[in-house]
Amino acid sequence: MFSFLSHPEVRQGFRDAAGLPGIALAATMLGFATMSKEAGLSLLMTMLSTAGVWGLPGQVAMVGLFASGSSLVLIFLAVTMANMRMLLMVISASDSMGIKQQQMPAWKHMLLFHFMAATAWLRMGQLKGHLAPHELTRYYIAFTIVIFSFSICGTALGFYIGDIMPSSLLRVMIYITPLYLILLALSGQARSNRLAVIFGGLFVVMLMPFMGQGAIFVAGFAGGGLALALTLRNEAQQAKQRGQNER
Amino acid sequence: MSAEYYGAAAVGLAIIATFVWRFLGVLIYQNVDADSLIMRLINMLAYSLVGAVMMQLMVAPTGLLATSALSHRLAGLLVGLALLAIARNLPIALLGAIGTFGMLSLLF
């Protein structure tokens, strides 16, 4: 335990998460808990959804449909669609952390990635290359412990004090998550990643009027595919130019 | 089904629905080569999907956020993007965007 804490990347993870990311997630979960209570879920169920789902869009979809009395099948499908990005984020973050090289047992890998959400994943993307894979893993654990704890506290707090807070303030708190994640994703160094975020965001806005919920998938896949195609073309052009210069 | 059981079932299914994706991610990762084009594609798709999901929450939210005006949400986002481009500082961009959205929501 103490040897884990002695690593500088662990302390950096704690410090980084206790700032903007922790506050943003705590505020959002506070807003979510208020929605959940209004919908009729108990404190235990509200806390369980934060701890067990750990992905705001899925949690919001679940509570919204629960409040309207939708069927359980519809709730399952909506959350499945809203949280599909987890699949790609887990693969991408496992690669950044070099899980194969670390020869981590599958159960540990699974446990580690239960706590993977967009905030931590975007941070991993920014630090990839700056920290060695095993250091990045330690950073991720420290970062996640803090944002998860903040979120659980925010959820409990929201359940109790959400009622007495003005709705204008609660709206701001819920607004923080999409805003924070969009800005965080666009503040990264890699141009190709920023392109993918921009294309995904633009395509979903264009497609939503025609496709509803399905727009997320089409926009996500088209945006990511286009960003990769442009990046590959760019790399090919640069390689060609380098070749010409060398001659 | 009583409301209590309905709530527990909804939360339980939401947990399973999310767990399945994470579990599949762990399984698939074992079979994807780290330096392959597929890994690059997966990474790009993940960024794009995060952009798409967050923009959808921004443009067509449900719940309490849906009671705010779209123009206020977009104004906040635009201020945040402009500040990010100019100041290249995430906390400043975030504060500017939240301030804009909060002020507009209170005033109008």
Q: Is A156 on the interface with B (CB under 8 A)?
A: no
Rounded Cα gap, residues B91 and B80, in angstroms: 10
**Judgement on whether residues A149 and A94 belong to the same structural domain of the protein:** yes
**Judgement on whether residues A153 and A70 belong to the same structural domain of the protein:** yes
Which residues from chain A sit within 8 angstroms of residue B57, using beta carbons? Answer: 56-57, 60, 177-178
Q: Which of B33, B54, B105 to mutate to test the interface with A (most CBs of A within 10 A)?
A: B54
**Judgement on whether residues B58 and B77 belong to the same structural domain of the protein:** no
At residue B102, the pLDDT reads 94
Tell me which residue range forms the domain holding B55.
34-62
Nearest to A224 by CA among B93, B51, B106: B51
Rounded Cα gap, residues A55 and A65, in angstroms: 16
**Judgement on whether residues B40 and B18 belong to the same structural domain of the protein:** no
Does B1 score more than 90 pLDDT?
A: no
What is the number of domains present in chain B?
A: 3
At residue B10, the pLDDT reads 96
CB-CB under 8 Å, B47 with A186? no
Q: Which of A179, A210, A221, A235 to mutate to test the interface with B (most CBs of B within 10 A)?
A: A179
Q: So what's the ipTM on this one?
A: 0.91
CB-CB under 8 Å, A198 with B26? no
- Averaged pLDDT, groups of 10, chain A, 247 residues long: 83 95 92 90 96 92 89 92 91 93 89 93 91 95 97 95 86 89 90 94 95 89 96 93 83
Is B49 exposed, middle or buried, given 0-12, 13-18 or 19+ CB atoms closer than 10 A? buried
Rounded Cα gap, residues B72 and B77, in angstroms: 9
**Judgement on whether residues B83 and B101 belong to the same structural domain of the protein:** yes
Q: Which residues fall within 8 angstroms of residue A44, CB to CB, at 6 or more apart?
A: none
**Judgement on whether residues A107 and A216 belong to the same structural domain of the protein:** no
**Judgement on whether residues A165 and A210 belong to the same structural domain of the protein:** no
**Judgement on whether residues A130 and A226 belong to the same structural domain of the protein:** no
CB-CB under 8 Å, A91 with B39? yes
Q: Is A214 on the interface with B (CB under 8 A)?
A: no
Tell me which residue range forms the domain holding A178.
2-189
CB-CB under 8 Å, A87 with B11? no
**Judgement on whether residues B7 and B21 belong to the same structural domain of the protein:** yes
Name the more confident of B72 and A244. B72
**Judgement on whether residues A99 and A214 belong to the same structural domain of the protein:** no
Report the SS3 class of residue A131: strand
**Judgement on whether residues B51 and B15 belong to the same structural domain of the protein:** no
**Judgement on whether residues B39 and B25 belong to the same structural domain of the protein:** no
**Judgement on whether residues A208 and A195 belong to the same structural domain of the protein:** yes
**What DSSP string describes B4-30?**
HHHHHHHHHHHHHHHHHHHHHHHHHHT
**Judgement on whether residues A217 and A96 belong to the same structural domain of the protein:** no
At residue A164, the pLDDT reads 87
At residue A231, the pLDDT reads 95
**Judgement on whether residues A93 and A154 belong to the same structural domain of the protein:** yes
At residue A1, the pLDDT reads 62
**Judgement on whether residues B107 and B74 belong to the same structural domain of the protein:** yes
What is the number of domains present in chain A?
A: 2
Name the more confident of B19 and A103. B19
Q: Is A80 on the interface with B (CB under 8 A)?
A: yes
**Judgement on whether residues B105 and B77 belong to the same structural domain of the protein:** yes
